[in-house]
Structure 1
């Protein structure tokens, strides 16, 4: 297939990728690739909203304080201030794009603001209980209409193309140090591999929730950007901090359906099957404690009492209030025979957010020249050991805009002709069942051994199994044509290895990482930074 060329190639179509694309497209040629349709990423699933200091009762200092407290000593305070102070204008940009946030004239902003766990005031702007979908639909419409943005759906990135990998194979040779030249991408509908060259490449592929058996994430969240960045030589930080959302709907047919943090923010109470509240015994903030504390409390009560789930009850609120503020949750629960206006919602914790990722600076730059990472794929220093609710979409906006400003300051250079993808020594796979079995095994032992509560022995068991799976998968990758499932499995195994390696290096319990062998907090908070060859 002929080589495609762009000024900037963006891998991923969530809020971070779309924000960057729309801010670049005024005078840059942008290629935006996504594994499925544009709306299928995690951003579109976000229910709660975007945290920003918008009302007079709030302040940047309060938002910064809440973020630092949730982050358990590991947030980069300067980065946190940068994100918080740029939050209001980033939200204003979304409003200017036409995002239909829920209106309310009672707080001086013109918009309804809700409060979520870990926040000291109401500061989360939202579009009912489907904020991500409203934001994504608005930006997707603008991206499709822009002449400088080429959207390639059902295109799966295989690996980044770097000058180090192509040393001696390209003309003219790269004069700079190792840098990113583009990516090899599988057109999954045609089954053919495209070569894409770009002055800048951006990883915006989201997180890695699908490495676990139970997750609130969509099927696309397979750690692709993190794994590709690692294989290209980038540093990876704080992968042990996987946020488990406390309240995922517990029902055999309710795949990955999240019950928003805002339900607790508006008065929802967590209860045992007999109706007894339990959160006050675990934390003085009760249901409004940060997510790691609530998730561990639920995990503790379920294991202690042998429960399949606990219950989130907001039925004491007026029915009209619930239908107006949580229309998506109300309707979805009703489909499963649960009327949230009359009965509690069965919930369990589930893997939700990857706080670590590819190390970047304030502009989204990685260790590799011409390669950026933004959104959940990146480690910026904002989230520390535990992300504060609704700071994720905020990070996507702020760093999407920052990366755009940095790229716009550069002068595009002539692009190099890159070698085509070589399939001369591979054949069609003989048994696809190997992939599905390995996928299932990986997600099950990661849930059992590297979940909410960890031990050194469990981590060692997981590491041993990951090493065996990686050998098998790499052999499969070397001998057969690539497929979407194979590429995702390869990335999941690499990402799982990074999670386990990071967890084994942290000899304390902090934020989202809780180890029975190291239950105490070390006096100094340090990031876990991994580098290839170390």
Structure 2
């Protein structure tokens, strides 16, 4: 697949120029937290393609994993993360995560985040693959919403950091190998904008919308990975997308996440005959790593000839469930399900991308001036399968560490942004009327069927051939955000498939029925893609 440098031909577009010191792209936990710390050093502006609250963070239910209990330790958190990561975690990154995590969470508390408490102590729960109770939660099952509320209060009300909503980032501005900001289209004012900044931080989240069924919001279309890749950044570990084992299955309605914490509070999975089955797949049964539980559910669904299994937490009374899981409880009731009396129909759905824009442990990409954090980034910290509730922690820890490298780079910056060319002219693009109505649904179906929980070479090659055919759309110029998103999605899907084909083994969230075992030579080996080379490379990281 030939990937053009830009989404559009910018030669006939008039850009309004906006000058700032720090451009933050994204309003999830990583973007907002980064913006707060950037504010100490200069003028900050945040850009998001929809509303401020539209992010994966808002939908996070379970909580944040961090060592707060005297019976717990960072060594145990490290071990649990490495085990879940299936031999692919970057050990140094995990050490940073678990050791610096508690301090970042305490800072989040100081910023006004109200975590749930029990007898004046922070309440902790346990989730899948954790050996101890170490999950802080808020509002029962509304942790992400509470974290976003607290950070938004600091960003908007206390610091007055401007947020440009309804603004779609098209491409990054690069010149002679350095990043100088981004080109965007503002839907609210119907104008093109060039955001010029010495430091750009990408925190755009994941790409769950590549799949027909996902727990992610509509904004999760992989845009940050796509425009960073077009600019020359590397993408790593793109074969590893996590499927959450339990989303509420209601025909005709979008998947609704049923938190891992429900199983942490004793819920069990049952097949069509009402029998428990997880003990046949893993010693930790319902609390096994997510990749194990998701595959087990798919296998059981196939055996039963059903589109879901059952989640049973009827041993808990209604009062407990209302207080501990208010969002899930209300959603179930709205759909005629009483959690205290009824089993929940659940099935896996695309949830979290372990891969992304390759960075070091300070969020730096291979492009000077460009940093990334949160789900869009990849340090290798999650390996082949993310440990439950490590995602919000990731956004905090690595969003904070960015400034250890970004500030010296910012202080030494002495170029005139007005003299930086906004783009490099490319051959004219072809015009086309419409893309989104035909390609997007077909793409989601293709990825779900060929690049889902269980894969094989035949399916992957078939997907690759289809995507190579669809890649012609990258040569066309479109005029709507939905079409630009679809172009980004096709680009990212292609890299995911290529990465999945190269890894001829099963590891974590990447399971191939034609190579069902993990192979020692692949342990610690990460596949990297870069636009200029069009080929994959591999790097070894200590696991």
**TM-score between the two structures when normalised by the length of structure 1:** 0.93
**Residue in structure 2 matched with residue 168 of structure 1 by the alignment:** none
Paired residues for 1:140-179 under 5 Å: 140-147=152-159, 149-164=161-176, 178-179=177-178
- Shift, 1:303, TM fit: 1.4
- Shift, 1:422, TM fit: 10
Matched, 1:214 2:213: yes
- Shift, 1:483, TM fit: 1.6
Paired with 1:371 and 1:150, the residues of 2 have a C-alpha distance of: 20
**Residue in structure 1 matched with residue 462 of structure 2 by the alignment:** 461
Paired with 1:428 and 1:361, the residues of 2 have a C-alpha distance of: 38
Paired with 2:425 and 2:383, the residues of 1 have a C-alpha distance of: 42
**Residue in structure 1 matched with residue 66 of structure 2 by the alignment:** 52
Instruction: Note if contact 1:26-1:148 (Cα within 8 Å) is conserved in structure 2.
Output: no
Structure-2 change in CA distance of 1:284 and 1:147 (3 Å): closer
Paired residues for 1:272-351 under 5 Å: 272-351=271-350
- Shift, 1:423, TM fit: 12
Structure-2 change in CA distance of 1:336 and 1:2 (3 Å): same
**Residue in structure 2 matched with residue 181 of structure 1 by the alignment:** 180
- Shift, 1:530, TM fit: 1.8
**Residue in structure 1 matched with residue 151 of structure 2 by the alignment:** 139
Q: Note the alpha carbon deviations across 1:482-504, whole angstroms, 9 max, x for none.
A: 32111111111111011101100
Paired with 1:430 and 1:78, the residues of 2 have a C-alpha distance of: 48
RMSD: 1.9
Q: Note the alpha carbon deviations across 1:100-120, whole angstroms, 9 max, x for none.
A: 1001138xxx11001000000
Paired with 1:425 and 1:528, the residues of 2 have a C-alpha distance of: 31
Equivalent of 1:2, from 16, 23, 28? 16
Instruction: Note if contact 1:194-1:421 (Cα within 8 Å) is conserved in structure 2.
Output: no
Q: Which moved more, 1:283-292 or 1:407-416?
A: 407-416
**Residue in structure 2 matched with residue 491 of structure 1 by the alignment:** 488
Q: Note the alpha carbon deviations across 1:148-206, whole angstroms, 9 max, x for none.
A: 62210010100111104xxxxxxxxxxxxx11011101102233211110001111100
Q: Note the alpha carbon deviations across 1:452-499, whole angstroms, 9 max, x for none.
A: 00010100011111111111x22332xx4x321111111111110111
Paired with 1:498 and 1:157, the residues of 2 have a C-alpha distance of: 20
Paired with 2:94 and 2:251, the residues of 1 have a C-alpha distance of: 39
Paired residues for 1:29-68 under 5 Å: 29-68=43-82
Paired with 1:97 and 1:42, the residues of 2 have a C-alpha distance of: 20
- Shift, 1:521, TM fit: 1.2
**Residue in structure 1 matched with residue 3 of structure 2 by the alignment:** none
**TM-score between the two structures when normalised by the length of structure 2:** 0.91
Paired residues for 1:58-207 under 5 Å: 58-105=72-119, 110-127=121-138, 128-147=140-159, 149-164=161-176, 178-207=177-206
- Shift, 1:230, TM fit: 1.1
SS state at 1:363 partner: coil
Q: Note the alpha carbon deviations across 1:81-116, whole angstroms, 9 max, x for none.
A: 11100011000011000011001138xxx1100100
Paired with 1:7 and 1:63, the residues of 2 have a C-alpha distance of: 37
Paired with 1:426 and 1:37, the residues of 2 have a C-alpha distance of: 33
Instruction: Note if contact 1:357-1:377 (Cα within 8 Å) is conserved in structure 2.
Output: yes
**Residue in structure 2 matched with residue 226 of structure 1 by the alignment:** 225
Paired with 2:134 and 2:518, the residues of 1 have a C-alpha distance of: 30
Gaps of 5+ in 1: 165-177
**Residue in structure 1 matched with residue 384 of structure 2 by the alignment:** 385
Instruction: Note if contact 2:57-2:148 (Cα within 8 Å) is conserved in structure 1.
Output: yes
**Residue in structure 1 matched with residue 6 of structure 2 by the alignment:** none
**Residue in structure 2 matched with residue 365 of structure 1 by the alignment:** 364
Instruction: Note if contact 1:197-1:415 (Cα within 8 Å) is conserved in structure 2.
Output: no
Instruction: Note if contact 2:271-2:304 (Cα within 8 Å) is conserved in structure 1.
Output: no
Structure-2 change in CA distance of 1:148 and 1:180 (3 Å): farther
Paired with 2:251 and 2:189, the residues of 1 have a C-alpha distance of: 34
Gaps of 5+ in 2: 1-14, 536-543
Matched, 1:476 2:476: yes
Q: Note the alpha carbon deviations across 1:385-413, whole angstroms, 9 max, x for none.
A: 00000000000000111113332333143
Which of structure 1's runs of 4+ aligned residues deviate more than 4 A? 418-430
Q: Which moved more, 1:306-315 or 1:413-422?
A: 413-422
Equivalent of 1:512, from 509, 513, 538? 509
